[in-house]
Amino acid sequence: MIATTRPPWAIPLVAAIFVAALAPGNLAVADSVNRIRAITFTEDSGTTQVRIAGSEVATFTVYKLERPSRVVLDLARAELTDELRGHEAGLSLAANTWAVGAVGAQPLSDGGKGVRVIVSLARPGRYDVKIDGKDLLVLVSARDAAPVQVSAAEAARVKASAEEARRDSVAARAEAEHLRAEKERLTASSAVAQQQSRQALDAAERARQAAETARQRAEHEATLATTSAAGAQREAARLRKIAAEQAERATRAEQAAVASQRDLRREDAEKAAAVAARQRAERAQAEAERASAAATASHAQAAQATEAAERAQADAERTRAAAQAAKQQNERELAQSRRELAEAKAQVAKDRAAVEAERQRVSQRQAALAEETSRAKLDAEAARQEAAKVRGEAEAGGRPASARRRRRPRSRRRRPRSRRRRPRSAPPWPFARTRTG
């Protein structure tokens, strides 16, 4: 009686491989050795492709193990080339992709030719095995989508953008400082202009007051001169009246002297008095004329003082208008400076927010990269430990590692997918060992 041990899920795949191996075109290479020349891997859109390049069409058995999750391929009648393995017994590659953590290969120690390739999964996912000519392709896709990877160029671009934003922020800060200094200068100049305006207004007010005082003084002097002129005119009229009276008396005296030439002394006295009265009248008339001239001069001075007061008031009005225009111009410049400063502050706040957002995105990407690197390191370490364990089993004495009975540790919690068990002997049919009974 001949009995074989094989897993139920391997029957279709192994049967297809066996039929392909027994095809007429493959009978010539059935006894040849498949030399594994290279094991490479590539990643595209979260899917990792492991290519096993051989010299012949591969005959293989594939199954999946857990804890850690890995895909195992047993290649029959295969061996690793010396160029591939070097001085080591096997090969270990750290893939560190999103789906695959490491890839290992080592010869089977079951007395025949065979190579076991172990693809350690970085995270839960699915796999597919395809034959591409003489190469064997293992496609591994993670269940979760791969995060967006930040390339070195993208990181450099982000860093350059952050640096440019920082420079813009520094420039904006310098511009704000410049605007602040300009504002302070304009404020100082405005204060100086306001002080000058106040001084001009004070000077204009003083000039107006001086003009008003001069006008009042001139009006007072003109009033006094008018009053003096009126008094002088009255005095002159009085003196003229007196002179007329004296002249009339003198005439009467002369008439009396002519009429009565008897009193020569009295006539001479009256003549002398008449002469004196005439002289006094002439003097009074001269004084009246001088008083009239003084009154005319006082009127002229009053007119000049009034004209000077009007000119001073006009100058004060012009100075006040110029000061008001300068004040309005300073206020417009100050308002423009305030608007420019507010715009500069708003631009600086906007640039600062953009730089902060870019810094947060870079920090998140760096954190994601650090997490992925740590996870890849852990997966690589697990793969190395698994490879070391398999190598130790291969190097141990006794029965071959593939023929020893291995049982998976039972989990305390049953899961629907854990009902299938590994074959108790490897490799499975048609390369399994047989026993008679």
Can you read off the two tokens belonging to residue 248?
A: 């009339």
Q: Is the pTM of this model over 0.85?
A: no
Sketch the domain layout of the chain as residue ranges: 2-146+397-430, 164-360
Classify domain 2-146+397-430 by CATH architecture.
Sandwich (2.60)
pLDDT tens profile 399-420? 554 444 555 555 455 555 545 5
Give the pLDDT of the chain (437 residues) as one tens digit per residue: 333 334 444 433 443 444 344 444 444 444 588 999 999 999 988 899 999 999 999 999 999 999 899 999 999 999 898 888 878 888 889 999 999 999 999 988 766 689 999 999 999 999 999 999 999 999 999 998 877 666 677 778 888 888 888 888 888 889 888 998 988 888 888 888 888 878 888 888 888 888 888 888 878 887 887 888 788 788 878 888 887 888 888 788 778 767 767 777 776 787 888 788 888 878 878 887 887 788 788 788 878 878 887 888 888 889 889 888 888 998 898 888 889 888 888 998 888 898 898 889 888 988 888 888 888 888 888 888 888 888 888 777 545 544 445 555 554 555 555 455 555 544 554 444 444 43
2-146+397-430 and 164-360 have identical folds: no
Contact 39, 93 (CB under 8 A): yes
Report CA torsion sign: 162, 168, 172, 177.
Answer: positive
pLDDT more than 90, % of the chain: 17
d(CA 262, CA 269): 13
Domain 164-360 has CATH 1.10.287: yes
Q: How many CB atoms lie within 10 A of CB 20?
A: 13
pLDDT digits (tens, 9 = 90+) for 288-328: 788 778 878 878 887 887 888 788 888 888 988 988 888 89
Burial class (CB in 10 A: 0-12, 13-18, 19+), 346: exposed
Backbone angles phi, psi at 245, to 5 degrees: -65, -45
Give 75's strand partners.
60, 115
Using alpha carbons, select from 80, 72, 73 the residue that is nearest to residue 55.
80
- Residue 191 forms beta bridges with which residues? none
Q: Identify any residues that bridge with 142 across adjacent strands, giving them in sequence order.
A: 125
d(CA 295, CA 283): 18
